Structure formats: C-alpha cells, structure tokens
Amino acid sequence: MKTLPTLASALILSTGIATAHDYTVGDLEIMHPMAFETPKMAKAGAGFLTITNNGDTDDVLLEVRADFPKVEVHTTEETDGVAKMMHVENLPIAAGETVELAPGSYHVMFMGLEAPFEDGLEIPATLVFEKAGEVEITFNVEARPEGGESMDHSNH
Ligand SMILES: [Cu+2]
C-alpha cells in the first residue's frame, strides 16, 4: 500500500518547477500567483492567485500594478452560453474568507503585451489593498496543462 507523502516532504518535493509561493501582508495571505503561457500573438494574459483574509476586518483589492499598459481585475460572466469579461473596480476580500482568482472566474488581466508569456517567466506585480496596504508579488508563468481550458484573451 502506498502512503501519501507528509506535508513536509511534499513541500520539499515541490521545490523546482511550478513552486507554490506565498506572500503575507497584514492579515492577508496571498497564495501562488501564476499565469498561463499565452499564444504567440496574444495581446493579453490572465493572472490567477488565491487571497485569504485571516483577520476580523473586511478588506478590498483596489488595484493591481504591473509593467503593462493596462492591468485590471476581471470577472467572467456567462450569458446565454457566451463568456464575457467585466472589469471589477474593487474586489472585496471579506474577513475570514478566501477569494480565488481562477480560470472561468476572477482574474488579473495584463493588457497590451509586447511579447507572449512564456513558461518560466516571472511577472513582478504590486497588489494594493484598502486596509493591508501594498504587497509586491511575482506571478510565475506556467505551461498550459494538456487539454486544459482555453483562456485565450487575444481578442480582449
Ligand atoms: Cu479578462
């Protein structure tokens, strides 16, 4: 019978490619900011991360800054089977809650790319929260999983 690796050994094993990386600012924990590689001609790419508010006060993600002409938080809404993206000005991170920015839902949209995102690229960014303040993070670009959901933002 195979035993599952303990958490500690799993963490050691994960150092290398696609390392999970975390950041903390105030009561907020920011987990594994990443982006998928983009098609060659893509003019935009999407970033994903998870934010947990361990505090007793609600917070709000006000802004994401990165070195691109435009960076916005988007949400994806499906109307009549057509997925549409909408700009979210303020993303609430309620006390005790975890907000996931994931494919098909919220995401950070990097717009006006001059070069595609390639596997292994690191994208520095700053998250600006109403209460917790600013935190510098890095989005790690990862290869698209085989048969994964397409997140082509090229016509965005
Ligand atoms: Cu978008």
* CA of 97 relative to ligand 1 center, distance in Å: 23
User: Residue 4 CA to chain centroid, in angstroms?
Assistant: 28
Of the chain, the end-to-end C-alpha distance in Å amounts to 49
The C-alpha atoms of residue 119 and residue 13 are separated, in whole angstroms, by 20
Which residues lie near ion ligand 1 (Cβ < 5 Å)?
Answer: 74, 85, 109
As a whole number, mean pLDDT of residues 132-149 equals: 87
* CA of 124 relative to ligand 1 center, distance in Å: 19
Q: Which of 46, 31, 21 is nearest to 107 (CA)?
A: 46
pLDDT, one tens digit per residue, over 3-34 is 555 555 444 444 444 557 899 999 999 999 99
pLDDT, one tens digit per residue, over 121-135 is 999 999 999 999 999
pLDDT of residue 145: 79
- Statement: residue 81 has pLDDT above 70: yes
User: In degrees, to the nearest 5, what angle opens at C-alpha 49 toward C-alphas 124 and 54?
Assistant: 110
* CA of 152 relative to ligand 1 center, distance in Å: 9
Question: Domains along the chain?
Answer: 19-141 (2.60.40.1890)
